[in-house]
Amino acid sequence: MPYLTLRDGAELFYKDWGNPDGAIVTFSHGWPLSSDNWESQMMYLGDHGYRVIAHDRRGHGRSSQTWNGNNMDNFVDDLEELFAHLKVKDAVMVGHSHGGGEVTRYLGKHGTGRFKKAVLIGAVPPLMLKTDINTKGTEKSVFDSFREAIMKDRAQFFLDVPSGPFFGFNRPGAQKSEGQIRNWWRQGMNTSCKSAYDSIKDFSETDFTEDLKKIDIPVLVLHGDDDQVVPIEASGLKSAELLPQGKLKIYKGGSHAIHNINVDEVNKDLLDFIKS
């Protein structure tokens, strides 16, 4: 399995699939998951001739479980090292949830030189936390309850999240998938407890407003209007307005995990946007 040794000695696991000579699409996963969460999209685009690259964020999946450095600026510096190693250029960058924040901060900090387009799916920007200015955000007490649940019984918490709000399986008439729940739990439990804990502050309190304003390439924003984890009013709608070349598509009734639930539609939207 391919690993890149980073500047501090940590090892970053990555997948490099598809056509080695094809146009590149990169994927950044959500919390507390891994590159495995992108399998449907990577298989689909790989079959359409693209080179698809995804990593396990440090502390997640098969990457090193570092004690320190579980923060957005460090995460995107890891990405820049990976992209330089793999000679990524003229690519499309895709991110979900926390990974959408990673995409946004990467482009804001390292620029758009390697990328021609980006896609944010159920992404956390511009800011999840409720403040005096960000009145539609989520109360800090909610994120405090996440931290408390991790310390009390992480294994149960990581069953409760996918069984309910993440996939929308708590909605009346939802087609519940035990496989999706177990796969989420597997990925979550492979993430270090320390990184999972630290990342709650990272995805909830990082303000991406200025990063969004800097992004000078087309960005497609895909968001479900029934996203119970990252409500669209505080995220997708605002991001589309702040992006200089933002385009928003709302998935009616869509959950936080539209790329896992509305697979065919998301895959088609990605392909159409990449080819346009």
Domain ranges across the chain: 3-275
Q: What is the pLDDT of residues 188-231, one digit of tens each?
A: 999 999 999 999 999 999 999 999 999 999 999 999 999 999 99
Q: What gap in Å lies between CA 119 and CA 104, rounded to an integer?
A: 10
What crossing angle do the helices spanning 39-47 and 263-275 adopt, rounded to 10°?
Answer: 50
Buried b (16+ CB within 10 A) or exposed e, 27-59: bbbbbbbbbbbbeebbebbbebebbbbbbbbbb
What pTM was estimated for this model as a whole? 0.97
Q: Which residues of the chain have pLDDT under 50?
A: none
**Residue 227 appears among annotated catalytic residues:** yes
Residue of 64, 256, 259, 269 with catalytic role: 256
Catalytic residue among 63, 97, 235, 239: 97
For Cα atoms 63, 67, 69, give the angle at the middle one, nearest 5 degrees: 80
Q: How far is Cα 166 from Cα 133, in angstroms, rounded to an integer?
A: 27
* Residue from 78, 202, 227, 269 carrying the catalytic annotation: 227
* Helical packing angle, 98-110 and 193-205, nearest 10°: 70
Q: Find tokens 């698809």 and name the residue.
A: 52
- The C-alpha angle 179, 160, 204, rounded to 5 degrees, equals 110
pLDDT of amino acid 1: 66
pLDDT at 270: 98
* CATH no. of 3-275: 3.40.50.1820
159: its two tokens: 């069953």
